[in-house]
Chain A
Amino acid sequence: DAGVTQSPTHLIKTRGQHVTLRCSPISGHKSVSWYQQVLGQGPQFIFQYYEKEERGRGNFPDRFSARQFPNYSSELNVNALLLGDSALYLCASSLGILYTGELFFGEGSRLTVL
């Protein structure tokens, strides 16, 4: 079975631009979460979506937004990119809204902002 898939794997943007990152969860998983991992740090929670509704939001500015589609895939959008947005963006999926040890991560999208 395919795991969590993310695209693109790498991308380079310049300050002020916009980026869209995509995620397909494991088949049967209805919840998708997004995390940001800056080099040398642990992942930080950005959003959780379950059944197409936002169920949790981390401490990130409004430039960050996301949505979940009827097929449970998800997009993360970041507007007005800053140098500090350079990071590995991780998508994770789970069966339900509570993880209880069943949160699975994709390989991530590595964003570089110049």
Chain B
Amino acid sequence: QKEVEQDPGPLSVPEGAIVSLNCTYSNSAFQYFMWYRQYSRKGPELLMYTYSSGNKEDGRFTAQVDKSSKYISLFIRDSQPSDSATYLCAPQGAQKLVFGQGTRLTINP
């Protein structure tokens, strides 16, 4: 079993839709939970991060962590074609990030 599981998609939605991206993890020691966005042939770009359980909002993006169920979510409101990318969840372990497989998202105009 992988430490972090993420549905690879691909996920295709119309512009303006609400997008929900999810990961599950197995290591209860994780405290910081990152979301990265990666455009094709580029390096990952940090979107936002959350400490422990709870929600964090940044513009159209909301990150949510439920440590009791080991579940991580990223919600995108009013999705735009420029949001089309691969989204990677990455809990922080000791001296490293443990990445999910990434979900490939396409927003159709």
Contacts and interface: CB of A to CB of B under 8 A. Distances in A.
Contacts of A99: 32, 34, 92, 97
A43 B34 contact: no
Contact of A42 (B41, B45, B102): B102
Tier of interface size on chain A: 20 to 34
A103 B93 CA distance: 13
Contacts, number: 63
A55 B46 contact: no
Contact of B102 (A41, A100, A107): A41
A90 interface: yes
B98 interface: yes
Given A100-B32, A101-B32, A101-B49, A45 B44 contact: no
Nearest to A54: B95
B72 interface: no
Given A99-B32, A100-B32, A101-B49, A42 B99 contact: yes
Contact of B98 (A4, A45, A105, A106): A45
Contact of A43 (B8, B45, B94, B99): B99
B100 A42 contact: yes
Contact of A105 (B4, B44, B100): B44
Contacts of B42: 107-108
B101 A105 contact: no
A58 interface: yes
Interface string A44-87: 11001000000110100000000000000000000000000000
B88 interface: yes
B95 A55 contact: yes
B95 A43 contact: no
B6 interface: yes
Q: Top 8 nearest A-B pairs by Cβ distance?
A: A42-B99, A56-B95, A101-B49, A105-B43, A45-B96, A48-B95, A107-B43, A105-B44
Given A33-B96, A101-B49, 7 more contacts: A40-B101, A42-B4, A42-B102, A45-B96, A100-B49, A105-B44, A107-B42
